[in-house]
Structure 1
Amino acid sequence: MRLDGRGQRLAVWGVAAFIFAVLMIVTPKIPQDQKYHQFADRRNFFGIPNTLNVVSNFPFLVIGIVGLVLTLHGNSFGLSLQGELLGWSIFFLGVTATAFGSAYYHLKPNDARLVWDRLPMTVAFASVMAVFIIERIDEATGKASIFPLLTAGAGSVAYWRFANDLRLYAIVQFVPCFAIPAMAILLPPKYSHSHYWLWAAGWYLLAKIQEALDMKFYRWTYFIVSGHTLKHLSAAMVPVVTIVMLYCRNVRIERQSLLDKWRHQARGTTSVSGSGSTISQRWKAYWSGRSSSSNLHDETESLVRA
């Protein structure tokens, strides 16, 4: 029996839920290591505890406010869909709130304060994931996913705090880190400057490396700046890159994924006119339940043969 688009979406979500349930059963809990709160740089300047780890959150405040103003004032980013406006507004609100939450945590690092550091970040992760679904797959699907994703993010923080288990939070944080670059490469974009998503992912990867090597960076810089402070600055580059992307991009007439673009460049050819647009339409029709899987499969095969 062949399932229609809606049936296949439900089947995919069902399989994903089953895999998630199995993983939660067979994998051990990941408790919060209390050594996490012991950062390399604990210097106090001007009476501010852990000064550099506190003040290095200031860029999040500036960038978040700038992004929010540009999103809401005069449509500076040229957003054409209501879901995009909502998603990006929530994203920059999350970035702004991260400045306060992270600074509050670093003044006196402990589990109770860490909640207010992690909660705004899950807001940013969830909203940008929803925006990406809106841009690459379907507006209705992405818009409908905003609040469920936000709920999942907040729930993951609550589950960690009360169950002392980081598994859900790890999923909420790291799934977008892998899914967004993969979707940026594989799915045809609605807008230009798609490669900026990869730059944003690269900055976040650098931030996680700096966080993991907190003490090593502190030593490598002759105890001037620690890896965690650098992590804040690198992570702040993610919304900077997205602001530049949003300001510079425009709607693409011919839609072509980065993977197809790289393939054509490797062959020394240009894209096949209309193919990218057709595939994009098929993906959107598929996720909105207006197309059968056979049509999508046939269209995909035609692009591969081309």
Structure 2
Amino acid sequence: MDASRRKKWVAWAAALAIFVVLMLVTPAIPQDEDYHDFADQRTLFLGIPNTLNVISNIPFLFVGITGLVLCHYNDYFRLSSQGELWSWTLFFAGVTAVAFGSSYYHLFPNDATLVWDRLPMTIAFTSIMAIFIIERVDDRAGTKSLAPLVIAGALSIIFFDDLRPYALVQFVPCIAIPIMAIVIPPMYTHSSYWLWAAGFYLLAKVEEAADKPIYEWTHQIVSGHTLKHLCAAMVPVFLALMLAKRTIEPERVSLFQKWKISWIAVRENQSKDRNTVDVNYGYAAVSTSEQ
């Protein structure tokens, strides 16, 4: 076994060990029944209960189908490998399924229907992790990790009456992806779109947490959970735009390095400007004294 492969096995073993330790040392987290008590429970038209929380999932359908079509139509996204193709296909398939799963859940909010809300999201989350491994670490390792990650995500929903596995599947990518997007040199251009997507997802989580306060602040026009759906749908929008615009990066430089170079350039320009002002001021003072 060569050194690079050994490192990959060590990394996977370390991740598994961390997961096992977390499961052993932390208490189980059952689903809170109050989670299903959303602020906006109005039936506004067509007899649809919780109307706005249901129909606000429609953007996921349009974005997901568009992404699926463009993944396979005339190589529109210019994906470099089969691993990328399957990973992005699963991601947009998950986004499309969110439209149906989340709508079904919000029609009948309970623990049983919540499974169909979260399952498509885990497919999207885990596919994104595989994509990042393909793009930023190693194509072969990322491709091989796709199936295990998706299966692990599905199992965290189906076979656990405990939110800890699902929390890991959801929040680890939320932390890891922005950090990897900033620190690890990208294979493609337009890498900053990852940060826009992460920012909208963070905003969506804030709106979800503030469901009832937002409903009151807007005088019961729209709830935080409805806005959460709309903001979360912007994540695949930005990623689809990134795929459409990006090209192979000729010089693989991380966003952190680019920001560092830009910061140094700004500091140098400010220093030059100050020196120019001092010289001009000194010259003017000398000229005045000579007169």
Code of the residue aligned with 1:132 in structure 2: it is F
Q: Does 1:251 align with 2:220?
A: no
Correspondence for 2:259 among 240, 258, 262: 262
Offset at 1:255? Answer: 0.7
Q: Deviations over 1:112-156 (max 9, x none)?
A: 000000000001011111111111111100110111010011000
Structure 1 segment 150-169 matched on structure 2, within 5 A: 150-160=150-160, 164-169=161-166
- 2:280 — aligned with what? none
Match of 2:111 in 1: 111
Contact residue 133 and residue 142 of structure 1 kept, 8 A: yes
Name the SS for the 2:127 alignment partner.
helix
Aligned residue number for residue 204 of structure 1: 201
2: distance between equivalents of 1:100 and 1:259? Answer: 38
Q: Which amino acid in structure 2 is aligned with residue 66 of structure 1?
A: T
Q: Distance in 2 between matches of 1:248 and 1:88?
A: 15
Partner of residue 121, structure 2? 121
Amino acid at match of 2:24: I
- The SS at the match of 1:59 is helix
| 1:13 partnered with 2:12 | yes
1:231 Cα deviation (Å)?
0.3
The percent of aligned pairs where both chains have the same amino acid is: 61
Instruction: Out of 129-138 and 260-269, give the one that drifted further.
Output: 260-269
For structure 1, the residue ranges without an aligned partner over 5 or more in a row are 270-306
Larger Cα Rg: Structure 1 or Structure 2?
2
Q: 1:84 maps to which residue?
A: 84
Instruction: Determine the C-alpha separation between the residues in 2 that align with 1:10 and 1:190.
Output: 23
Counterparts in 2 of 1:59-74, with a 5 A limit? 59-74=59-74
**Displacement after TM superposition at 1:30 (Å):** 0.4
Query: Partners of 2:30 and 2:177 in 1: how far apart?
Result: 27
1:101·1:120 contact (CA, 8 Å) conserved in 2?
A: yes
Aligned equivalents of 1:51, 1:30: Cα separation in 2: 30
* Residue 242 of structure 1: how far off its partner (Å): 0.4
Give the structure 2 partner of residue 22 of structure 1: 21
Q: For 1:138 and 1:7, locate their aligned partners in 2 and report how far apart those are by CA, in whole Å.
A: 14
The structural deviation recorded for 1:11 is: 2.2
Q: Is the 8 A contact 1:204 1:238 kept in 2?
A: yes
Question: Contact conserved, 1:95 with 1:121, CA < 8 A, in 2?
Answer: yes
1:181 is displaced (CA, Å) by: 0.6
| Aligned match of 1:38 | 37
TM-score, length-scaled by structure 1: 0.84
SS of the residue 1:268 aligns to: helix
Relative CO higher for 1 or 2, CA cutoff 8 Å, sep ≥ 6? Answer: 1
Q: CA deviation at 1:267?
A: 1.4
Offset from partner CA, 1:161-203 (integer Å, 9 cap, x none) = xxx2100000000111111111101111011000100000000
SS of the aligned residue for 1:69 comes to helix
Q: Cα deviations across residues 192-225 of structure 1 (Å, max 9, x unaligned)? A: 0001000000000000000000001101111100
**What SS does the corresponding residue of 1:6 show, helix, strand or coil?**
helix
CA distance in 2, matches of 1:27, 1:104: 32
Cα deviation for residue 21 of structure 1 reads 1.3
What is residue 291 of structure 1 aligned with on the other side? none
Is the CA contact (8 Å cut-off) linking 1:214 and 1:226 kept in structure 2?
A: yes
Letter in 2 for 1:248: K
- Structure 2 spans left out of the alignment, 5+ residues: 267-291
Deviation at 1:264, TM superposition (A): 1.0
Instruction: Tell me which amino acid in the other structure corresponds to 1:198.
Output: L
Q: Distance in 1 between matches of 2:206 and 2:235?
A: 15
**1:133 paired to 2:133:** yes
Could you state the TM-score of these two structures normalised by the residue count of structure 2? 0.89
Q: Say how many residue pairs are matched.
A: 264
Match of 2:277 in 1: none
